[in-house]
Amino acid sequence: MADVQKLLIVGGVAGGASAAARARRLNEAAQIIVFERGPYVSFANCGLPYHLGGDIAERESLLLHTPESLTARFGLDVRVNSEVLSIDRSNKTVRVLNRLTGDEYLESYDALILAPGAAPIRPPLPGLDHERVFTLRTVPDLDRLMNVMTPDVKHVTVVGAGFIGLETVEALRHRGLQASLVERGTQVLTPLDAEMTAPLSHELKAHGVELLLGESLQSVNAGERLTLQMESGRQVTTDLVVLAIGVKPENQLAREAGLEIGSTGGVYVNEQQQTSDSSIYAVGDAVEVRHTINGKAVLLPLAGPANRQGRIAADTIFGRQAHYRGSQGTAICKVFDHTAASTGLNEKTLQAANMPYQKLYLHGNDHASYYPGATMISLKVLFDPASGKLLGAQAVGEKGVDKRIDVLAVALQAGMTIDDLAEMELSYAPPYGAAKDPVNLAGMAAQNWQAGLLQLTQPEDLAQASDAQIIDVREPEEIASGQIAGARNLPLSQLRQLSHLLDKNKPVIVYCMVGLRGYIAQRHLSQLGFNVRSLNGGYKTWQMWQATKTA
Amino acid sequence: MADVQKLLIVGGVAGGASAAARARRLNEAAQIIVFERGPYVSFANCGLPYHLGGDIAERESLLLHTPESLTARFGLDVRVNSEVLSIDRSNKTVRVLNRLTGDEYLESYDALILAPGAAPIRPPLPGLDHERVFTLRTVPDLDRLMNVMTPDVKHVTVVGAGFIGLETVEALRHRGLQASLVERGTQVLTPLDAEMTAPLSHELKAHGVELLLGESLQSVNAGERLTLQMESGRQVTTDLVVLAIGVKPENQLAREAGLEIGSTGGVYVNEQQQTSDSSIYAVGDAVEVRHTINGKAVLLPLAGPANRQGRIAADTIFGRQAHYRGSQGTAICKVFDHTAASTGLNEKTLQAANMPYQKLYLHGNDHASYYPGATMISLKVLFDPASGKLLGAQAVGEKGVDKRIDVLAVALQAGMTIDDLAEMELSYAPPYGAAKDPVNLAGMAAQNWQAGLLQLTQPEDLAQASDAQIIDVREPEEIASGQIAGARNLPLSQLRQLSHLLDKNKPVIVYCMVGLRGYIAQRHLSQLGFNVRSLNGGYKTWQMWQATKTA
């Protein structure tokens, strides 16, 4: 756009703040006004649960900037408590409400950036407007919640087990409250596939969270305490409720202005973050993005993309080449002492889209097992069976999950294949990793599968393999903690002596704890002429998969 | 190679062990014999310093496999204390010495893999053969060192400040010994550029290590204690010495067999790990590799590549397509509470090779600054100024260094550019990262430099800028801990009011703590018509650079 002398930005957090700062660095002369409906700009949205839980002691640490600091640093005109009510596209003006005074006024623009974010979903259920039902999206939300945390509040119920729900329920447990977590679906953290969330459900329960999966809130009934009525008939008595069902794009302003809204409900933008009106841009949680893997329009409300989109909008407005490449949905969540993270597409999505895929489970230590403190990471890698191209990855564990998902996120961004994973040269010393990192091992195992060396049985297919001889190749002492029903123990260390005990006319399925020894056993038996498969990810994966059946 | 029925492997650690296991998984029928000169196979070489220091309590944890366990699992014929003395290439036999019995015998092969590793360098200096001068490469080395750790040993001197030297000196401090670290060069950890090692030198001194840089050992003189004579005339009195000067490829067997040796002293191999004799393969620390960035033949003794090369040799021998892509030199080192890591080429190498490059320093927190426990990572990114293609990266800090170097190692592997770094979608929640990760920020800053928005002055060029107005844009309270001589304080928060105090006829150099506010100030002043540059990485980089001048 040529000669933008006046830029208005609706929303002063994440994408809006990034756009404003970038705009000023590109153009000293332009008038830049930022309207923020709430009382705060540039606050640490993602930090709210951690102040609630007490990890972040000072509320002030959440306020990254004030209008004054932004004005001093960037020469911005920052107006908080200022709601943009409407856009007059033909006259290029917006109508602004000063929420403190009630005054309304018009402001003209050469370019307009919409960064209104997303709003917590509040389903129209009876009682949900009760004053003890909260959301946690803004600093005032946090303040309201903190204010009611009186000693008579003993029990809190969080509705929704997504990122915010999980972080919030952990925060409330940190505060010493009893907590229930209600989730309509049959798993927590839906960006991951169900089996990968089994350790998270376990972790929640281990930390005293009452986890109610498959329960749908029907109504909130106020009495001395609150009674939550579930569709199943179940009731939960609680003192307050935090709704964390999800968010929806704040698209009203754009919609009423006649801007194109995508099928997802997010504001449609092109790669330059331009809406259907070339003078109006939109960024952040309010817009729909292209998924980098399948090209579909999706809602992926994430802070990193929001910031980058703000930068791109400012670049475009002030004449620089820039485009947004799409989002791949990299996300991470702390769940007490566990971390879960994912990037790209999950198996559910691949199945629903009928995209060909293969999956590989790999359980490996975050660093060399002989160095103290090693913990296990469970990794799921999804890839195209023909080309080997990575489609997505998920990981859960205590430590090092963020590193592996970031490594895989870059691999996904680069269009890498399982061969590339196998060949990755990652940093290794015993405190940090292993000579073969779990990511390398996942790549190698996937290569073996692709080359026909590794024959896999999926845990969900095991029940159908009733004619097979199921062989547990772990050492006897490992089996004390459980094994698969009907399995026979032939330890790998004795398999070379004992393989004659197996029936060559019946298929064999071998497994160990994580899959490595199972693979070795499978190679051995396969070369002896057995029809043999290895259980993907071994007993560990099977346990995770089983847990989702009994949750 | 067709029809290999008998495979001999020289060396049973890392590459040799990987090759043997892979060979068996590919071919159940072949006879596979592993010769290991020492008493142990498949031991955790990289773990030795950590047992010395007590982190790894049990010596047995270092022994990943025994000959018996390898035989049971893989049907290998593993012969320890068995030294291969010579190769008869025309008859395809090797002569083996049983070091326990003194017997010698011939063994024939269809294919031979050399994985003898590398040997610690022992320069021919007077007194270096003293019984209190040690190396730390094998389990027997470790045992010898542990055995002399009697209470009268008060002081140990480590010679050489590379990976092993640093890990060893830390281990000895953990044992409560006084320790000196002698290094001929002017910096520790030469894979990094000097300024990036300043925090490591500081960390060593802070943990009681006497760091003697630029000191070259001349002789070891035995008396009641040992006296180390340096070329400078300096003397160090100590109780024992650990030599960690470096390693050289064990190439004698290959050389005497007439196999081609590279200019680096490493055994020459092609991409299939084949030596100049097509029946003989070599892998691991004994071979020279192609550097993936500049294509040069180099020695990069690393465990990950060794393991992968072993796998590739076995694949080739048994008729599978595989090739080694080269090494990029990813490495990492724990130095007390700090971590240092690097990947790709460093600035020294780029300069020596006359390759065009630009460097970008970025100091950023390992996770969101408002979440407790954030620590600073100092990152140096080297890239091609024209294409923006990544050439190398280095990082140092307390936490999250491994993650950033791994992310950058994958980026390097993928041939990514600074634009790709800026667009990386890494996992973000406050405990793990930031909406803009240090890697993203480094990419964005590099983009800004490439686009001409960011004008840089390097710390080493500051001394030459005597005509410039040097402006410290930090807030006054930040300056208490020091500033650059001659700098004038104009806080960024007041720059918009006070920029008229600057002389437009003289160049301006701005800096803040890490470079972000310096960049903002530079953009502001630049648009006002000043000739202004921003100090690369701010005061923090300048401090690191200064420290190398006074070390």
What residues does B93 pair with on adjacent strands? B88, B108
Q: From CA B422, how far away is CA B14, in angstroms rounded?
A: 37
Q: From CA A190, how far away is CA A231, in angstroms rounded?
A: 21
pLDDT of res. B464: 87
Distances B466 to A471, B116, B382, B461, B508 between C-alpha atoms, Å: 77, 56, 27, 10, 11
Position B56 confidence tier, pLDDT thresholds 50, 70, 90 = very high
Phi, psi (rounded to 5 degrees) for B196: -75, -15
% of chain B at pLDDT higher than 70: 99
Residues A390, A392, A398: CA angle, nearest 5 degrees: 120
Between chains, do A28 and B435 touch, taking CB under 8 Å as contact?
A: no
Q: Which residues of B touch A308 (CB under 8 A)?
A: 422-423, 440
Q: Which residues of A touch B527 (CB under 8 A)?
A: 27-29
Task: Give the type of residue at B367.
Answer: H
pLDDT of res. A339: 98
Instruction: Report the candidate in A199, A203, A211, A212 with the shortest Cα–Cα distance to residue A544.
Output: A199
Average pLDDT score over residue span B77-89: 98
H-helix or E-strand spanning residue B290: strand B289-290
Rg for chain A, CA atoms, rounded: 27
Q: From CA A290, how far away is CA A38, in angstroms rounded?
A: 29
pLDDT of res. A463: 84
Asked if residue B551 has pLDDT above 60, the reply is no
Q: Which residues of A touch B451 (CB under 8 A)?
A: 320
Average pLDDT score over residue span B218-242: 97
Position B2 confidence tier, pLDDT thresholds 50, 70, 90 = low
Position B465 confidence tier, pLDDT thresholds 50, 70, 90 = confident
What residues does A298 pair with on adjacent strands? A289
Q: Would the CATH topology of A337-450 be identical to that of A456-536+544-550?
A: no
pLDDT of res. B529: 96
Between chains, do A413 and B428 touch, taking CB under 8 Å as contact?
A: no
pLDDT of res. A2: 60
Asked if residue B549 has pLDDT above 90, the reply is no
A46 is a catalytic site residue: yes
Asked if residue B387 has pLDDT above 90, the reply is yes
Cβ atoms of A395 and A405 closer than 8 Å = yes
Closest partner residue to B55 (CB to CB) among A64, A372, A527 is A372
Phi, psi (rounded to 5 degrees) for B238: -150, 170
Q: From CA A107, how far away is CA A39, in angstroms rounded?
A: 20
| Calculated CA dihedral for residues B189, B191, B193, B197, nearest 10 degrees | -30
**Structure token digits, residue A513:** 């704890």
Cβ atoms of A322 and A158 closer than 8 Å = no
**Structure token digits, residue A218:** 């029907």
Closest partner residue to B47 (CB to CB) among A405, A430, A492 is A430
- Assign a CATH topology to domain A456-536+544-550: Oxidized Rhodanese; domain 1 (3.40.250)
Q: Which residues of B touch A402 (CB under 8 A)?
A: 403, 427, 432-433
% of chain B at pLDDT higher than 90: 97
Between chains, do A420 and B432 touch, taking CB under 8 Å as contact?
A: no
Phi, psi (rounded to 5 degrees) for A148: -95, 5
Nearest chain B alpha carbon to A321:
B451
**Structure token digits, residue A192:** 């991951």
Position A465 confidence tier, pLDDT thresholds 50, 70, 90 = confident
- Map residue B307 onto helix, strand or coil: helix
Asked if residue B73 has pLDDT above 90, the reply is yes
Asked if residue A464 has pLDDT above 90, the reply is no
At A328-369, the pLDDT tens digits run 999 999 999 999 999 999 999 999 999 999 999 999 999 999
H-helix or E-strand spanning residue A510: strand A508-511
Class of domain B456-550: alpha beta
Nearest chain A alpha carbon to B164:
A429
Instruction: Report the candidate in B392, B471, B550, B56 with the shortest Cα–Cα distance to residue A374.
Output: B56
% of chain A at pLDDT higher than 90: 97
Closest partner residue to A520 (CB to CB) among B25, B431, B432 is B25
ipTM here: 0.97
Q: How far apart are the first and last CA of chain A?
A: 55
Between chains, do A368 and B61 touch, taking CB under 8 Å as contact?
A: no
Q: Which residues of A touch B414 (CB under 8 A)?
A: 410-411, 414, 416, 420
Is 3.40.50.720 the CATH classification of the domain at A6-119+248-317?
A: no
Q: Which site among B370, B403, B450 would you substitute to test the A interface, given the most A Cβ atoms closer than 10 Å to its Cβ?
A: B370
Between chains, do B427 and A413 touch, taking CB under 8 Å as contact?
A: no
Closest partner residue to B428 (CB to CB) among A303, A519, A528 is A303
At B496-512, the pLDDT tens digits run 999 999 999 999 999 99
**Structure token digits, residue B482:** 């020091």
Mean pLDDT score of chain B, rounded to an integer? 96
Distances B355 to B342, B386, B420 between C-alpha atoms, Å: 19, 12, 22
The residue whose two tokens read 């000067």 is: B245
Query: What is the least distance, in Å, from the CA of B551 to any CA of chain A?
Result: 27
Q: From CA B449, how far away is CA B381, in angstroms rounded?
A: 13
At A65-84, the pLDDT tens digits run 999 999 999 999 999 999 99
Cβ atoms of A1 and A37 closer than 8 Å = no
Domain edges within chain B:
6-119+248-317, 133-245, 337-450, 456-550
Q: How far apart are the first and last CA of chain B?
A: 55
**Structure token digits, residue A512:** 């160990």
Asked if residue B1 has pLDDT above 80, the reply is no
Q: From CA A319, how far away is CA B356, in angstroms rounded?
A: 29
- Assign a CATH topology to domain B337-450: FAD/NAD(P)-binding domain (3.50.50)
Cβ atoms of A406 and A328 closer than 8 Å = no
Query: What is the least distance, in Å, from the CA of A155 to any CA of chain B?
Result: 26
> What does the H/E/C string look like for B490-528?
CCHHHHHHHHHHCCCCCCEEEECCCCHHHHHHHHHHHHC
Between chains, do A402 and B433 touch, taking CB under 8 Å as contact?
A: yes
Q: Which residues of B touch A403 (CB under 8 A)?
A: 402-403, 406
Cβ count within 10 A of residue B375: 14
Nearest chain B alpha carbon to A51:
B371
β-strand B532-535 against B456-457: which pairing, if any?
A: parallel
- Map residue B112 onto helix, strand or coil: strand
Cβ atoms of A493 and B73 closer than 8 Å = yes
H-helix or E-strand spanning residue A419: helix A418-423
Q: From CA B90, how far away is CA B113, in angstroms rounded?
A: 16
Q: Which site among A428, A440, A516 would you substitute to test the B interface, given the most B Cβ atoms closer than 10 Å to its Cβ?
A: A428
Q: Which site among A52, A189, A343, A425 would you substitute to test the B interface, given the most B Cβ atoms closer than 10 Å to its Cβ?
A: A425
Nearest chain A alpha carbon to B330:
A427
Q: From CA A233, how far away is CA A265, in angstroms rounded?
A: 33
Query: What is the least distance, in Å, from the CA of B47 to any CA of chain A?
Result: 6
Length of chain B equals 551
Cβ atoms of A34 and A77 closer than 8 Å = yes
Asked if residue B308 has pLDDT above 60, the reply is yes
**Structure token digits, residue A278:** 């070339």
Q: From CA A70, how far away is CA A18, in angstroms rounded?
A: 11
- Assign a CATH topology to domain B133-245: FAD/NAD(P)-binding domain (3.50.50)
Average pLDDT score over residue span B90-100: 98
Query: Looking at residue A38, what DSSP letter applies?
Result: S
Asked if residue B304 has pLDDT above 80, the reply is yes
β-strand B376-383 against B358-365: which pairing, if any?
A: antiparallel
- Map residue B390 onto helix, strand or coil: strand
Cβ atoms of A541 and A391 closer than 8 Å = no
**Burial class for B155, CB neighbours closer than 10 Å (0-12, 13-18, 19+):** middle
Average pLDDT score over residue span A295-319: 97
Q: From CA B375, how far away is CA B398, in angstroms rounded?
A: 6
Average pLDDT score over residue span A259-278: 98
Q: From CA B547, how far away is CA B196, in angstroms rounded?
A: 10
Cβ count within 10 A of residue B409: 27
Query: What is the least distance, in Å, from the CA of A230 to any CA of chain B?
Result: 31
Average pLDDT score over residue span A309-315: 98
Closest partner residue to A435 (CB to CB) among B27, B304, B409 is B304
At B517-544, the pLDDT tens digits run 999 999 999 999 999 999 999 999 999 9
The residue whose two tokens read 């709601």 is: A83
Phi, psi (rounded to 5 degrees) for B144: -60, -45
Please report how many Cα atoms fall inside a 13 Å half-sphere around the Cα of residue A373, on the Cβ side.
9
